[in-house]
């Protein structure tokens, strides 16, 4: 139909268009729906449901076993039987009676309490009425009547309240009785519910996913629910309240920067990673990585991540704050996943169509750098590497942090953890250079706290007094050449210093550094041993080994091969570098005696190497050690080959006719192959054919600028000052003999023509001076003037050379800000001679070189007190704009070079990628290298830093040709391997300056903070070099039965099963304790553990049981009573609250029960079970302590090859306790792993050395640095602070002393607090009850009442106990000196310190049983429970004597002042007279 | 402590004709005083439970046809000059009573015919058969004149061990076995009842007990889980009766020489006697 007036378009056409449009729209709608239905997350969620159902099926399997069914039936029977008991007529009647009573009473309570509310309200109204009348100043009559009214109402209310209380009390009694009657049923029902609990939970989960599953019990199954569930998954329907849906996490306050805006973060990652926070009981992954693949796995380590109880719960943190990526993405690509290496990238591209998206600023961290993110919140870093609760959670990033501290990267590259005063990340800054700088920082409220890191290298302030001539330049040129293990990086002979220019200039720079440092070195006063003292190197060697040097240093000697210390340098060849002769010896002697004299910020401690008298002769250990270290004598080091006067040209060594022909020249003269950039010939001036300077049109000689005509490559030098040039050597000779500063004429054949030029001969030193001057002076003319006048006086006024009016001198610094200060003349008319000028130039170039390379970042260098770091700051490098990185020609470099052997890195990576793709067989290290290389190809940060650390100067590849000498890259090459580079890169990439809200940052306070700060100091001062901080351990397989007899649970189960037999007397306590007929005790293997348990319990539970229960006679029945009730719950509680009764070994009669309880309070049990018993019945056990025996190498019988360990902890094995000091003995084949614990390398080594000499392992440990295990429960924190500041001599059995560290007050405080924080005790002050005056009053009272008739006061008897003939055997005590006749005699510490040093409870336990704290001690049990040493003191009570000794120790100085020296001698035993001449030490 | 650098000491074994003597063929119970006392002979018990308690000591299940005797001497090869006393008479010391008499150095005691006393000779592993239970009467180590008496002794695991003190001054007895708990306790003057200690496990080598109050005082004792161990008498002689009649290994150990032999293989004749002389190089005894 055509268009008419009514219609504009023909209708059929329009219909067709509409029809097609509708169809297209419909198709588009279907397509959209289909695409939406096909989204990845839907299939993942469907599959996850299936996996979960499968898992539930397998978890439900055991519940259909016959054993389970039988156990369930038993529980049901128990409930039935309990119910049956309630149906007994007598019980039933009573219940009925009580229930009726209860109902009645309950009704009354309800009624009366309702009434009470009314009565109270009426009373309150009366009070209010009275108050109103008072306000209205009503007459006293009215007021009285109102008050009376209130009184009567109040009385009624009180009456009612009392009535209510009475009824409630009655009701409570009834309820209690009912509860008692129902107790058994309730317990049985609870037990049944608990037993079924897990299964019920599984049923519930299964019902949710598959309501009609055949594993569900019939009453739960529902086919309707199943159908409903499946309908809900249909397209369109699934839009309404779906069970498959996108999951959102909205972490509060964790914003993300998107372009210019900071917006809330939304993470939808869980839409695909469905099971990521699905954890089973005990915080274990329900879908572990080893059984399931992504995206169906649970997150690893739920203790730490995602679970509700972890510190990073998913609800609070979401995902992308740690992982980065695009949280809103719901497809593989949109989430911005990052592959771990090129092979994975390829695989993903194929599987998921993945490609790298440069436009998203936060690509997901690949697994390689996942730890980097931790730094956003964990600014203190330490807790990521050393963490008592979670272990090392980010070991790589922590390693990177440690490496940066070790190598001192922060010296050049500031890592400022603050933006103003706002924390933004880890803070690694150098400490202020001076006290003034520190004070200024502290005074500024807008400044962050000062940095606290020391420069990592030694001070060079006095280096002139230390090292041999030429050593500085020899060392600096290649530090590893002299000391392969050095941490000093290499600055010279790197990739960008391999050309002719570098060959000439490097030696100058090296010589210049030496000249500067030597010239600026400040003198110090060196010390010497006493006049005439003959140092003994042999003695020095022993002192070196024993006085603690080896805690930090190593030496390449056969007998020291096990010493791996690297905190200080390996000092094998220290004698070579020190000054020859007595000077070097005196320097070393002074350094050993007092290291702070040479370097105030040194980490080398003062080892108290004081002069001692041995055998009547003085021995100076410092002199002896110095003599030992100086053995081998000095070495001569070569001078740097600093070049002399030259033209600055390099000649072709092989100038042939052929080459001449190619240049269309005659074959004569020498061919220039290179013109040094800074050399004389580069400044050549043209001459006319007559050898005269050319003139311009006006006849004036042209300026130097106009005449500049540098010699070029491929020029041929034909004549030198008119003399024909015949050879390279001859030309060099001619230049050298002409001398620096001389102008010579060269005839050149250049570009087909001959030409004459004038060259002013110079030296490389002058060239460098000229180069550097040209940077600070405005033009060449000024430079020439400075060189010609041999001084730098640019803008220096004449008066500067004159004294000020007040007679003092001007500082040239006012006019000369830079390094040119070295070139300033000393007076205006000074005639600077050649030697002085050379020296000044050298010092100038040296200073410039030190400035350029930033030597002062690691060393204290005179003249650089205010110098600033030279490198890029790193605090936000992890987000550095990649367009600002300069990869230059790095890929070309790596194409040809890059590997240590010079081969191509590109090729190596190609091979790795191939292997990775096809063989799936590459190491983590190779995979990482490939990832870095790929990153470099894409201009990524990781690749850039990787190569920067591998070969820092390689970025100058083919750049040196177009760069000035002083523009070349300067970053040195550190001796780090690829693994270390990976760690450093991981750390630096985490520095993003993007801290989340403060609430998310880990900012510990109190003990947690002190632990972290303490760990930093432990590291800083290398405490672990000497001391063990965590005891070594053995992990082994053993049968728990053999070890502990029976576990706590087994004991409880036995009592529950046998309570009736005990109560009826079928099993007696005597039988249980192993003293009577044990026939009734079944199974047999329970007899021994029960005997230990009851025997120990009899001794340990006195006073711990309810009144009237005597442990000696009533323990068994009491326990049976507990076992019978509530399914044994009271018994289990009893066992939990009385761990002392659960000691696994028989308690010796000498041990005090109270002491054991106290010890367990101080050292509670630590579980030693690391794995449940496997099929072999063996459990995995870990015991910490000192290993006392290793298999005898000559023993071949495997059964006799055993390890032994003294346990130091209280070892909890399934509830039974192995006490500290007990033995663990394991055959070699049962050992699973051994650990050396943490620290104490020197102690272990020294013990090995001393064992042969002392013939006793215990004494060897006594002679070595003590383990600092549980130091916090032992010493008083204030004492520890003072001790750390200034360690006094404590022990006499040791061969070395605690040295004095260069530690600030704040550091000593932190470290003292650290030990208390680790052991979770109160600090910084611990109360010592024995020192309270009230304590004395109360013990004095107790003493008088317990020991009536005794003349002595408590204090006097206590003092006598301490001063009896026991303590004095080994200690100086009570004013009486320690006497020894044999050097092997063991001398204990002075007791006068105890009151300030030790904590009260620790001291008590120590006196009771020393081996509970220190198994190797020589201190014996002096006061055994069964044999008091002094029968006439404290009525012969051992326990009272111990407490008295502790009292005396804790009040030592006060009592000594009050009672004086008292030497107590106990009366001889009855019928015994002491033989003549027998005296104890006490009376001598 | 077993030292790793112990060299094997050469010895020549002299196998003598086995002589049938009365008294052979029955195991003896453990003695506390080495072989200086005539062993008390007891009838072999057939209590399986008792044997099972010491089952750790059985090295195999070989059937034992009978029992025999192992005897011999340990002799020093080469000259050995007697050691000076550890504490000379009247020497100044903490407790004067200690130097009333000289305290001899018993670390090497060479008796008549160069016999070496105080050498421990004990079965390394029980080859099978039954093991008599440990005696209930305690073994005693006394401290008399600031010296341990006896200087060397063998005990049984489970047998009470008493440390006594006959001196009017306190001693501090301490020892650290490898397989059982430590002992470190002061013994009061004139404590005749003694302090008791019971070994829970056997040791593979003798344990040194010492007094930390008097640094020279030391002695050795060895807890065994079988009765086949003795200490040589002053003339170096030893005799172990009732040894299972099969090939067994003996450990021979001396405090100075350490392991003289880690496993001397001897075939014990049933109802017979095997005699052997063990030689020790005098140089080995002079060390440290």
A304 has a pLDDT exceeding 90? yes
At B288, the pLDDT band (50, 70, 90 cuts) reads low
ipTM for this model: 0.81
Rounded to whole angstroms, the Cα distance separating A626 from A534 reads 12
pLDDT digits (tens, 9 = 90+) for A1308-1351: 999 999 999 999 999 999 999 999 999 999 999 999 999 998 99
Is A1366 in contact with B216 (Cβ distance < 8 A)?
Answer: no
pLDDT of residue A3: 64
Binned at pLDDT 50, 70 and 90, residue A67 comes out as: confident
**Number of neighbours of residue A846 by Cβ within 10 angstroms:** 28
Tell me if A1420 and B176 make a contact (CB, 8 A cut-off). no
> What is the model's pLDDT at position B41?
33
Per-residue pLDDT band for A188 (boundaries 50, 70, 90) equals: confident
pLDDT for the residue numbered B1: 37
Supply the pLDDT for residue B163. 95
Average pLDDT of the residues of chain A: 93
- Per-residue pLDDT tens digits for A860-907: 999 999 899 999 999 999 999 999 999 999 999 999 999 999 999 999
* pLDDT at position B59: 46
Residue A1000 pLDDT exceeds 50: yes
Dihedral sign, CA of A180, A185, A189, A195? positive
Question: At residue A1474, does pLDDT exceed 90?
Answer: no
CA separation for the pair A102, A104 (Å, rounded): 5
Cis ω before A656 (30° cut-off from 0): no
Phi, psi of A592 (to 5 degrees): -70, -40
CB contact under 8 A, A1369 and B180: no
| Cβ-contact A370, A323 below 8 angstroms | yes
Q: Taking the CA atoms of A1157, A1158, A1162 and A1163 in sequence, report the sign of the dihedral they define.
A: negative
Higher pLDDT, A1410 or B5: A1410
Which residues of A are less than 8 Å from B190 in CB distance?
1468-1469, 1472
Identify whether A717 is preceded by a cis peptide bond (ω within 30 of 0). Answer: no
Chain A CB contacts of B95 below 8 Å: 1478-1481
Indicate the pLDDT class of residue B55, thresholds 50, 70 and 90.
Answer: very low
- Interface touch B93/A1410, C-beta < 8 Å: no
In chain B, which residues have their Cβ closer than 8 Å to the Cβ of A1225? 178-179, 201
In chain B, the residue whose alpha carbon lies closest to the alpha carbon of A1421 is B185
The pLDDT score that the predictor gives to residue A1383 is: 81
CA-wise closest residue to A381 among A366, A368, A393, A364: A393
A1080-1100 confidence digits (pLDDT tens): 898 999 999 999 999 999 999
Give the C-alpha separation, B27 to B10, whole Å.
30
B62 touches chain A (CB under 8 A): no
Alpha-carbon gap, residue A1281 to A831, rounded angstroms: 60
Q: Does B96 touch chain A (CB under 8 A)?
A: yes
Asked if B216's CB is within 8 angstroms of A1478's CB, the reply is: no
Q: What pLDDT, on a 0 to 100 scale, did the predictor assign at position A1378?
A: 87
Over range A32-41, report the average pLDDT. Answer: 90
Of the partner residues A1188, A1366, A1478, the one whose CB lies closest to the CB of residue B178: A1188
Q: In this structure, how many other beta carbons lie within 10 angstroms of the beta carbon of residue B258? A: 19
B201 touches A: beta carbon within 8 Å: yes
Could you tell me if B144 lies within 8 Å of chain A, comparing CB atoms? no
> Which residue, chain included where needed, has tokens 């011999």?
B72
For residues A1049, A1054, A1057, A1061, the Cα torsion angle rounded to the nearest 10 degrees is -150
With CB atoms and an 8 Å threshold, state whether A1197 touches B125: yes
Alpha carbon A1005 to chain centroid, angstroms? 17
Nearest to A1418 among B170, B174, B196 (CB): B174
Searching chain B, which residue's CA lies closest to the CA of residue A1476?
B97
pLDDT tens per residue across span A72-94: 888 898 889 888 888 888 888 98
Q: Does B172 touch chain A (CB under 8 A)?
A: yes
Taking CB atoms and an 8 Å cutoff, what residues of chain B touch A1366?
Answer: 170, 186
Contacts of B262 in chain A (CB under 8 A): 1194-1195
For every residue of A1293-1333, DSSP letters joined together read S-SS-PPBP---HHHHHHHHHHHHHHTT---S----GGGSH
pLDDT at B35: 36
Mean pLDDT, residues A438-467 taken together: 94
User: What per-residue confidence (pLDDT) applies to B62?
Assistant: 58
Percent of chain A scored above 70 by pLDDT?
Answer: 99
User: Mean of the pLDDT values across residues A751-757?
Assistant: 94
Angle at A1442 between CA A1439 and CA A1443, to 5 degrees: 90
What CA–CA distance (Å, rounded) separates A603 from A458? 9
Tokens 């360990």, residue?
Answer: A1205
- In which band, very low, low, confident or very high, does the pLDDT at A543 lie, cut at 50, 70 and 90? very high
**Nearest residue of A to residue B288, measured between CA atoms:** A1253
Whether B200 sits inside 8 A of A1145 (CB atoms) is yes
Residue A1162 pLDDT greater than 80, yes or no: yes
- At residue A1472, the pLDDT reads 55
B254 touches chain A (CB under 8 A): no
pLDDT recorded at residue B42: 32
Instruction: Read off the pLDDT of each residue in A224-252 and give the average, rounded to a whole number.
Output: 91
Label residue A10 by pLDDT band (50, 70, 90).
confident
Q: What is the pLDDT of residue A259?
A: 85
**Residue B190: closest C-alpha in chain A:** A1469
Which residue in A has a C-alpha nearest to residue B216's C-alpha? A1384
CB contact under 8 A, B1 and A1202: no
- Partners of A1195 on chain B (C-beta within 8 Å) are 204, 262
Q: How many CA atoms lie within 13 A of A61 on its CB side?
A: 6
Q: What is the pTM of this model?
A: 0.86
**In this complex, do B94 and A1369 lie within 8 Å of one another by their Cβ atoms?**
yes
| B124 in contact with A, Cβ within 8 Å | yes
Question: pLDDT tens digits, residue range A593-638?
Answer: 999 999 999 999 999 999 999 888 999 999 999 999 999 999 999 9
Instruction: State the Cα–Cα distance between residues A1390 and A1374, nearest whole angstrom.
Output: 10
Average pLDDT (A1471-1476) is 50
- Contact flag B169-A1478 (C-beta cutoff 8 Å): yes
- Whether the per-residue pLDDT at B33 is higher than 80: the answer is no
In chain B, which residues have their Cβ closer than 8 Å to the Cβ of A1038?
none
Among candidates A568, A595, A601, which has minimal Cα distance to A430? A601
Please determine, for residue B57, whether its predicted confidence score (pLDDT) is greater than 90: no
Which residues in A lie closer than 8 A to residue B174 (C-beta atoms)? 1258, 1418, 1420
* pLDDT for res A1469: 65
* Chain A interface includes B95 (CB < 8 A): yes
State the average pLDDT over residues A376-386: 96
B177 CB neighbours in chain A (<8 A) are: 1223
pLDDT tens per residue, range B5-28: 333 333 333 333 333 333 344 444
Hey, is the C-beta of B53 within 8 angstroms of any chain A C-beta? no
Nearest Cα of chain B lies from the Cα of A1173 at a distance, in angstroms, of 22
Q: What would the mean pLDDT of B94-117 be, rounded to a whole number?
A: 92
Amino acid A1467: pLDDT: 84
> What is the model's pLDDT at position A957?
96
Confidence tier at A1172 by pLDDT (50, 70, 90): confident
The pLDDT mean for chain B works out to 81
Mean pLDDT confidence for A362-377? 95
Query: Length of chain A, please?
Result: 1484
Q: What is the pLDDT of residues A1216-1274, one digit of tens each?
A: 999 999 999 999 999 999 999 999 999 999 999 999 888 899 999 999 999 999 999 99
Shortest alpha-carbon distance between residue A1437 and chain B (Å): 15
Region A1029-1057: what's the mean pLDDT? Answer: 92
- How does residue A1470 score in pLDDT terms, banded at 50, 70 and 90? low
For range A1344-1367, the mean pLDDT: 94
- Provide the pLDDT for residue B287: 61
């Amino acid at each position: 139909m055509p268009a008419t007036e009514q219609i504009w378009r023909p209708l059929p056409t329009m219909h067709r268009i509409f029809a097609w449009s509708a169809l297209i729209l419909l198709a588009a709608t279907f397509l959209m729906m289909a695409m939406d239905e096909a989204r990845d997350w839907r299939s993942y969620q469907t599959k996850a449901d299936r996996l979960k159902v499968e898992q539930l099926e397998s978890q439900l399997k055991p519940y259909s076993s016959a054993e389970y069914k039988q156990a369930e039936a038993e529980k049901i029977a128990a409930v039935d039987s309990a119910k049956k008991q309630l149906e007994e007529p007598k019980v039933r009647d009573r219940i009925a009676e009580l229930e009726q009573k209860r109902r009645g009473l309950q009704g009354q309570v309800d009624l009366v309490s309702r009434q009470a509310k009314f009565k109270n309200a009426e009373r309150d109204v009366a009070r209010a009425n009275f108050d109103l009348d008072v306000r209205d100043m009503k007459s006293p009559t009215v007021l009285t009547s109102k008050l009376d009214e209130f009184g009567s109402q109040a009385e009624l209310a009180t009456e009612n309240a009392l009535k209510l209380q009475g009824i409630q009390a009655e009701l409570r009694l009834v309820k209690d009785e009912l509860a008692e009657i129902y107790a058994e049923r309730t317990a049985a029902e609870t037990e049944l519910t608990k037993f079924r609990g897990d299964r019920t939970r599984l049923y519930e989960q299964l019902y949710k996913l598959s309501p009609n599953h055949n594993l569900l019990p019939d009453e739960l199954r529902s086919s309707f629910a199943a159908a409903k569930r499946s309908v809900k998954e249909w397209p369109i329907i699934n839009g309404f309240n779906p069970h498959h849906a996108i999951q959102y996490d909205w972490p509060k306050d964790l914003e993300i920067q998107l372009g210019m805006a900071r917006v809330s973060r939304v993470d939808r990652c869980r839409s695909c990673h469905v099971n990521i926070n699905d954890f089973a009981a005990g915080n274990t992954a329900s879908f572990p990585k080893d059984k399931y693949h992504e995206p169906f796995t649970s997150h690893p380590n739920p203790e730490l991540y995602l679970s509700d109880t972890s510190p990073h719960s998913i609800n609070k943190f979401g995902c992308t704050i740690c992982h980065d990526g695009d949280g809103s993405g719901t497809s593989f690509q949109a989430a911005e996943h990052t592959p771990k290496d090129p092979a994975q990238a390829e695989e993903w591209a194929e599987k998921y169509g993945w490609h790298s998206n440069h436009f998203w600023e936060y690509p997901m961290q690949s697994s390689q750098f996942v730890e980097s993110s931790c730094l956003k919140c964990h600014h203190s870093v330490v807790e990521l590497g050393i963490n008592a609760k979670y272990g090392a959670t980010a070991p790589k990033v922590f390693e990177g942090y440690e490496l940066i501290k070790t190598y001192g990267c922060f010296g050049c590259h500031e890592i400022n953890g603050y933006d103003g005063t706002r924390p933004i990340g880890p803070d690694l800054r150098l400490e202020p250079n001076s006290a003034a700088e520190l004070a200024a920082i502290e005074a500024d409220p807008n400044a962050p706290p000062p940095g606290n890191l020391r420069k990592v290298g030694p001070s060079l302030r006095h280096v002139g007094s230390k090292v041999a001539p030429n050593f500085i330049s020899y060392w600096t040129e290649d530090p590893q050449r002299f000391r392969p293990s050095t941490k000093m990086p290499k600055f010279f002979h790197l990739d960008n210093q391999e050309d002719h220019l570098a060959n000439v200039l490097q030696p100058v720079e090296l010589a210049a550094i030496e000249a500067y440092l030597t010239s600026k070195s400040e003198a110090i006063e060196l010390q010497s041993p006493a006049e005439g003292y003959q140092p003994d190197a042999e003695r020095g060697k022993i002192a070196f080994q024993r006085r603690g040097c080896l805690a930090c240093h190593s030496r390449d000697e056969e007998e020291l091969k096990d010493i791996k210390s690297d905190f200080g340098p390996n000092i094998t060849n220290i004698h070579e570098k020190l000054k020859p002769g007595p000077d070097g010896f005196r320097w070393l002697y002074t350094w050993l005696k007092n290291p702070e004299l040479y370097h105030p910020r040194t980490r080398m401690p003062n080892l108290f190497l004081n002069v001692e008298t041995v055998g009547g002769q003085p021995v100076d250990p410092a002199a002896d050690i110095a003599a030992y270290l100086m053995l081998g004598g000095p070495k001569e080091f070569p001078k740097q080959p600093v070049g002399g006067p030259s033209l600055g040209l390099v000649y072709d060594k092989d100038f042939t006719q052929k080459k001449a022909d190619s240049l269309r020249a005659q074959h004569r003269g020498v061919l220039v192959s290179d013109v040094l950039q800074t050399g004389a010939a580069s400044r050549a001036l043209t001459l006319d054919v007559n050898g005269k300077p050319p003139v311009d049109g006006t006849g004036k000689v042209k300026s130097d600028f106009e005449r500049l005509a540098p010699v070029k490559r491929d020029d041929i030098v034909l004549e030198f000052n008119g003399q024909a040039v015949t050879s390279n050597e001859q030309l060099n000779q001619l230049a050298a003999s002409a001398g620096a500063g001389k102008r010579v004429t060269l005839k050149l054949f250049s570009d087909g023509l001959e030409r004459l030029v004038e060259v002013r001969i110079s030296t490389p030193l002058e060239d460098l001076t000229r180069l550097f001057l040209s940077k600070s002076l405005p033009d060449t003319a000024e430079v020439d003037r400075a060189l010609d006048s041999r001084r730098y006086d640019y803008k220096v006024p004449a008066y500067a050379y004159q004294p000020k009016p007040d007679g003092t001198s001007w500082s040239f610094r006012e006019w000369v800000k830079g390094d040119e200060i070295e070139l300033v003349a000393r007076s205006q008319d000074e005639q600077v001679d050649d030697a002085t000028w050379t020296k000044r130039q050298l010092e100038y170039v040296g200073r410039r070189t030190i400035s350029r390379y930033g030597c002062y970042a690691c060393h204290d260098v005179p003249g650089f007190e205010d110098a600033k770091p030279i490198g890029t700051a790193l605090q936000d490098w992890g987000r550095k704009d990649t367009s600002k990185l300069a990869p230059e020609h790095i890929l070309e470099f790596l194409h040809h070079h890059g590997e240590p052997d010079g081969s191509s890195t590109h090729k190596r990576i190609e091979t790795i990628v191939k292997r990775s793709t096809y063989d799936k067989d590459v190491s983590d290290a190779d995979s990482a290298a490939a990832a870095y290389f790929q990153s470099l190809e894409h201009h990524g940060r990781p690749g850039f830093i990787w190569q920067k650390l591998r070969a820092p100067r390689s970025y100058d590849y083919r750049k040196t040709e177009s760069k000035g000498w002083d523009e070349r890259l300067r970053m040195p090459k550190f001796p780090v391997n690829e693994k270390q580079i990976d760690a450093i890169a991981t750390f630096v990439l985490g520095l993003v300056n993007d801290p989340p809200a403060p609430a998310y940052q880990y900012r510990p306070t109190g003990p947690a903070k002190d632990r972290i700060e303490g760990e930093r100091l432990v590291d800083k001062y290398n405490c672990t070099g000497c001391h063990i901080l965590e005891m070594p351990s053995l992990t082994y397989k053993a049968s728990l039965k053999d070890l502990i007899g029976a576990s706590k649970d087994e004991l409880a189960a036995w009592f529950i099963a046998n309570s009736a037999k005990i109560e009826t007397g079928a099993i007696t306590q005597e039988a249980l304790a192993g003293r009577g007929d044990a026939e009734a005790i079944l199974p047999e293997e329970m007899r021994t553990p029960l005997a230990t348990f009851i025997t120990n319990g009899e001794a340990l539970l006195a006073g711990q049981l309810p009144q009237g229960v005597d442990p000696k006679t009533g323990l068994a029945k009491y326990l049976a009573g507990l076992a019978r009730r509530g399914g044994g719950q009271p018994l289990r509680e009893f066992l939990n609250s009385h761990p002392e009764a659960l000691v696994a070994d028989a308690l010796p009669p000498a041990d005090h029960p109270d002491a054991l309880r106290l010890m367990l309070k101080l050292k509670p049990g630590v579980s030693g079970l690391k794995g449940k018993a496997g099929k072999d019945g063996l459990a995995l056990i870990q015991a910490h302590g000192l290993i006392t025996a290793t298999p005898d190498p000559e023993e071949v019988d495997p059964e006799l090859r055993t390890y032994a360990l003294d346990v130091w902890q209280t070892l909890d094995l399934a509830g039974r306790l192995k006490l500290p000091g007990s033995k663990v003995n394991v055959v070699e084949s049962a050992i699973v792993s051994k650990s050396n614990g943490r620290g104490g390398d020197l102690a272990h080594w020294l013990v090995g050395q001393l064992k042969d000499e002392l013939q006793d392992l215990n004494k060897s440990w006594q002679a070595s640095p003590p383990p600092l295990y549980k130091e916090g429960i032992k010493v008083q924190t204030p004492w520890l602070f003072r001790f750390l500041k200034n360690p006094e001599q404590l022990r006499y059995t040791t061969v070395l002393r605690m040295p004095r560290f260069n530690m600030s007050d704040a550091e000593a405080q932190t470290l003292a607090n650290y030990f208390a924080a680790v052991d979770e005790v109160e600090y910084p002050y611990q109360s010592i009850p024995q020192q309270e005056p009230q304590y004395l009053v109360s013990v004095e009272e107790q003493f008088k009442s317990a020991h009536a008739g005794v003349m002595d006061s408590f204090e006097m008897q206590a003092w006598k106990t301490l001063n009896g003939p026991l303590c004095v055997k080994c200690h100086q005590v009570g004013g009486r000196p320690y006497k020894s006749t044999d050097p092997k005699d063991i001398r204990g510490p002075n007791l006068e310190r105890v009151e300030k040093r030790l904590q009260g409870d620790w001291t008590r336990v120590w006196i009771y049983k020393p081996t509970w704290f220190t198994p190797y001690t020589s201190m014996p049990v002096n006061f055994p429970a069964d044999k008091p040493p002094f029968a006439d003191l404290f009525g012969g009570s051992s326990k009272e004597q111990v407490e008295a000794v502790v009292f005396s120790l804790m009040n030592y100085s006060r009592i000594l002042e009050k009672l004086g020296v008292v030497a107590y001698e106990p009366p001889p035993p009855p019928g015994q007279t002491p033989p003549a001449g027998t005296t104890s030490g006490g009376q001598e | 402590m077993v030292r790793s650098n112990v060299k094997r000491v050469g010895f020549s074994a002299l196998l003598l004709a086995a002589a049938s003597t009365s008294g052979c063929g029955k195991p003896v119970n453990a003695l506390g005083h080495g072989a200086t006392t005539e062993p008390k002979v007891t009838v072999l018990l057939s209590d399986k439970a008792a044997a099972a308690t010491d089952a750790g000591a059985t090295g195999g299940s070989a059937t034992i046809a009978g029992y025999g005797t192992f005897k011999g001497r340990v002799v020093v090869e080469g000259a050995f000059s007697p050691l000076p006393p550890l504490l000379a008479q009247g020497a100044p010391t903490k407790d004067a009573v200690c130097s009333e008499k000289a305290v001899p150095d018993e670390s090497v005691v060479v008796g008549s015919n160069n016999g070496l006393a105080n050498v421990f000779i004990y079965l390394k592993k029980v080859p099978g058969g039954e093991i008599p239970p440990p005696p209930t009467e305690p073994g005693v180590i006394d401290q008399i004149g600031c010296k341990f008496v006896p200087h060397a002794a063998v005990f049984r695991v489970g047998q009470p061990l008493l440390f006594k003190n006959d001196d009017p001054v306190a001693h501090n007895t301490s020892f650290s076995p490898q397989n059982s708990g430590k002992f470190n306790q002061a013994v009061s003057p004139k404590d005749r009842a003694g302090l008791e200690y019971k070994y829970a496990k056997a040791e593979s080598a003798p344990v040194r007990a010492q007094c930390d109050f008097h640094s020279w005082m030391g002695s050795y004792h060895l807890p065994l889980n079988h009765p086949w161990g003795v200490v040589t008498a002053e003339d170096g002689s030893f005799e172990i009766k009732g040894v299972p009649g099969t090939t067994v290994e003996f450990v021979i150990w001396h405090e100075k020489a350490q392991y003289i032999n880690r496993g001397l293989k001897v075939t014990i004749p049933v109802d017979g006697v095997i005699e052997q002389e063990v030689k020790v190089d005098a140089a080995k005894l002079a060390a440290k």
